[in-house]
Structure 1
Amino acid sequence: MRTLGTALAAALALTALGAPTARADAPAVPDFADGFGLRIAQPTEVHSGTDFTLTVTTPQVSGPHKIRVFLPSGYAANPGKRWPVAYFLHGGGGTVNDAAAAPALRSDKMITVVPDGGRKGWYANWKMQDTVLKAANWETFHLEQVVPFIDANLRTVPDRAHRAVTGLSMGGSGALHYAQARPDLFGHVAALSGGLDFGMAEIRATVVATELNLPGAWCAVSSASGCPDYGPYVDSDAIFGSPYPVFGADRLWRAYDPAAPANLSRLADTSITLYTGDGDVVDAQTARAARTVKSRLDQLDIPSRLIDYGNGDSLAPTCNGGHNYGCWAPAFADYVPRLEAAFAATSATR
């Protein structure tokens, strides 16, 4: 077993994409009203009539935060129609603009919402609220504020059968955790190359490395796309407390753990899809975690779908099996039509 210190080479690296520039003559997009603890902080950034970014503030998470939205092309032309919604959770070091690297997320059959998850928010309510980052209740922000805010401001179908949560890397663990924490909200979940098993020393090391902003010192050895910035240093216990399993000190890690059988059992009525490769040092670990989750779901008699594409040959010519959008974009191209079909099948039976 690797120690926590030597496991840092398995940490997840993701480089954020640049934000698009809003045009002065940009077309109109839906108006949003404050609510559920969220306040509109800046004018909407309009990238097109179906692609825009809101900026909001909330006491739950310090600082302004972005929410990017992709609407179906027929949204404005069908004012009486309601649409299913997929939430996309970006990875560590990422931003809401990362979703643009997966074209399949721009669906004409559903709304896609991409909330800011912080450079190292880990989709959790942090144990420490007094770090340099101050308030960090990411889970509350997303589940109790963003979801009802979107339902109140857009024409959604506001039930779990028509709502999905998806994510990759850090967002993969976040997606599985959110589906477990709120099965009343999400009927579908997909995790791509996720840090799913918090019982693995390598995954705990990943979280600690992002807290300390350490990956920049070594990520070039496992990433051809540059080294992400995980933001200011915070205490290694800031998010989940001590990572060491001594005298119950790691209780918050175990309570959050998306791979824990007790948490997986909450997905009995949820459509579950996992994707991973094993072509680099990072996805070698996400593959282990995904196989553990799949095995435990099987033991619980909970149906799930695992696509383990190994070195990437079976997925797409762009995929080398590594922790990158060359694999994640075609994985979403496989998943989104299946999700659209599931939404449509549910609507047809209503």
Structure 2
Amino acid sequence: MQTALAIRPLKSLALFLASLFALCLSAPSWAFQTRIVSIPSAAMHRAFDATVVLPDDYDARGSGSARYPVIYVLHGSGGSYADWTSNTRIGKLADHYHVMLVMPDGGHESWYIDSPFDSSSQYETYVGTEVVSYIDAHFRTLASRQTRAITGLSMGGFGALRIALDHPQAFGAAGSISGAVDPRNCEDEPGIDRVFGNPARHADFWTRNAIVEGAGSFEHAHIALTIDCGVDDSFVQSNRVLHDKLIALGVPHDYAERPGGHTWSYWSNAIRYQVLFFATSFKQNGWHPNAQQA
């Protein structure tokens, strides 16, 4: 009787350990870290939250000395710094490619420009200069244009390309997902005239900032460029116009149209291809994820 009583707990323990082992094997191995930081803006006299995703080996590799490339990912109109992590599994891409991901807050309708019509909306300076400086000062980044990229969706796609063109010393790669590359098609967007001005009285400002009109700026910018848009997206035609102009100018770039519309389903799929593109660009510039870079 005593022997039988002793065997039962051992069998139960063995079954428990086997179940626990199987559970560990089936659980996702992603161990990225997500942090919310407050980044001050001297240009706008306030601070904004941002999401920072660190790869799982950020605190392990090289006793905390390894440095990482950074990809800045911008949200769309009406969104916030939390959009990408709330609606996609973007964090696992930091683990897979050994990169940092930074998602700053760009306001609800800032279009990531320094607005001459609203002094409180200076988001190009904020994202293109102040956020980059803060991240480089507070995290172990590879602080060079060759290992820094920027992309975004919709309004954020416009902003990413605009900022990359205006800050070529900061970003060596840029992308746009479902980008509003011609804001003149968005005149009815609530609040857009607050930063762009009245479209009738300030048509030249709208035109000057439209990415489709400034395609020639990419000719000598030496930016690794990737653009994609869903075939059912209302912005697909303006993206095709930009693509055709870049081809005519001989500007190297990746361009893709995939099934889908202006939805998180499309964006969560598209970001995987863009991060792969950027990681490839970083490697072509000499970075290797297994190298210890100080």
Q: One fold, TM greater than 0.5?
A: yes
2:177 is the alignment partner of 1:210: no
The one-letter amino acid paired with 1:148 is S
What pairs with 1:274-313 in structure 2 (closer than 5 Å)? 274-279=227-232, 283-284=233-234, 286-309=235-258, 312=259
The one-letter amino acid paired with 2:73 is F
SS at 2:38 equivalent: strand
Q: Structure 2 CA distance, aligned partners of 1:158 and 1:60?
A: 22
Residue of structure 2 in register with 1:195 after alignment: 180
2:195 is the alignment partner of 1:239: yes
What pairs with 1:57-76 in structure 2 (closer than 5 Å)? 57-61=40-44, 63-76=46-59
Q: Structure 1 CA distance, aligned partners of 2:115 and 2:221?
A: 27
2:78 is the alignment partner of 1:93: yes
Q: Structure 1 CA distance, aligned partners of 2:161 and 2:105?
A: 17
Equivalent residue for 1:159, pick from 144, 166, 169: 144
The one-letter amino acid paired with 2:38 is T
2:262 is the alignment partner of 1:323: yes
Q: Structure 2 CA distance, aligned partners of 1:267 and 1:328?
A: 29
Contact map agreement 2:219 2:251 (CA 8 A) in 1: no
Change (3 A) 1:263 1:203: farther
Change (3 A) 1:143 1:338: closer
Contact map agreement 1:180 1:264 (CA 8 A) in 2: yes
Report how many aligned residue pairs link the two structures: 253
Structure that is richer in helix per residue: 2
Q: Deviations over 1:281-304 (max 9, x none)?
A: xx12x1011111111111111011
Contact map agreement 1:127 1:238 (CA 8 A) in 2: no
Q: Structure 2 CA distance, aligned partners of 1:192 and 1:305?
A: 12
What pairs with 1:328-343 in structure 2 (closer than 5 Å)? 328-343=267-282
Residue of structure 2 in register with 1:128 after alignment: 117
The two structures have a TM-score, normalised by structure 1, of 0.67
Q: Structure 2 CA distance, aligned partners of 1:323 and 1:190?
A: 16
SS at 1:196 equivalent: coil
Residue of structure 1 in register with 2:18 after alignment: none
Residue of structure 2 in register with 1:256 after alignment: 209
Q: Structure 2 CA distance, aligned partners of 1:139 and 1:348?
A: 27
Taking every aligned residue pair, what percent have the same amino acid on both sides? 29
Change (3 A) 1:324 1:62: farther
Q: Specify every segment of 5 or more residues in structure 2 that has no aligned partner in the other structure, as ranges.
A: 1-30
Contact map agreement 2:187 2:193 (CA 8 A) in 1: no
Residue of structure 1 in register with 2:105 after alignment: 116
SS at 1:156 equivalent: coil
- How far does residue 341 in structure 1 lie from its aligned partner after superposition? 2.4
2:157 is the alignment partner of 1:172: yes
2:226 is the alignment partner of 1:273: yes
Residue of structure 1 in register with 2:17 after alignment: none
Change (3 A) 1:64 1:274: same
Compare CA radii of gyration and give the structure with the larger one.
2
Q: Structure 2 CA distance, aligned partners of 1:62 and 1:348?
A: 36
The one-letter amino acid paired with 1:139 is E
Q: Structure 1 CA distance, aligned partners of 2:220 and 2:88?
A: 26
Residue of structure 1 in register with 2:89 after alignment: 103
- How far does residue 58 in structure 1 lie from its aligned partner after superposition? 2.7
Q: Structure 2 CA distance, aligned partners of 1:145 and 1:64?
A: 11
Q: Give the CA RMSD over aligned residues.
A: 2.2
SS at 2:190 equivalent: helix
The one-letter amino acid paired with 1:341 is T
Q: Specify every segment of 5 or more residues in structure 1 that has no aligned partner in the other structure, as ranges.
A: 1-47, 212-235, 313-320
SS at 1:274 equivalent: strand
The one-letter amino acid paired with 2:139 is L
Q: Structure 1 CA distance, aligned partners of 2:220 and 2:178?
A: 19
- How far does residue 114 in structure 1 lie from its aligned partner after superposition? 0.6
Contact map agreement 1:264 1:297 (CA 8 A) in 2: no
- How far does residue 254 in structure 1 lie from its aligned partner after superposition? 2.1
Change (3 A) 1:150 1:164: same
Q: Structure 2 CA distance, aligned partners of 1:173 and 1:147?
A: 18
2:81 is the alignment partner of 1:81: no
